[in-house]
Amino acid sequence: MVQCCACRKFSERLDRCHVKTRASGAGWEDFEFIMMCRSCHIKQGHLNWKRFLQLYPHLTDILKQKGWALTEEFGISKMRRIV
């Protein structure tokens, strides 16, 4: 697994940041999460994906490689699987 940390810090403690929440049915497949340091994972949780990707646009390419895209539907931004 490659660390995709937004701040690009490398630490010993890495979290699995699910692209979709576990409550939305996300599993543990490799494409369903990216690895982040704890502080970036917490920051992403407090923000939403749209705001987080505006701060760290390099993650858009990483998510696209895993098959995800940020879409907007009825004024609501959501991560969707684009395979």
Q: Is the dihedral of CA 38, 42, 43, 49 positive or negative?
A: positive
Whether the CB-CB separation of 22 and 48 falls below 8 Å is answered with: no
Q: Is residue 44 part of a domain?
A: yes
What's the one-letter identity of residue 70? L
**How many domains in the chain?**
1
Domain encompassing residue 63: 14-81
Whether the CB-CB separation of 38 and 82 falls below 8 Å is answered with: no
Q: Is residue 9 part of a domain?
A: no
Q: CA-to-CA distance for 7 and 46, rounded, in angstroms?
A: 16
Q: Is residue 22 part of a domain?
A: yes
Tens-place pLDDT, residues 14-69: 888 888 876 777 676 777 888 888 888 889 989 989 999 998 888 899 899 889 99
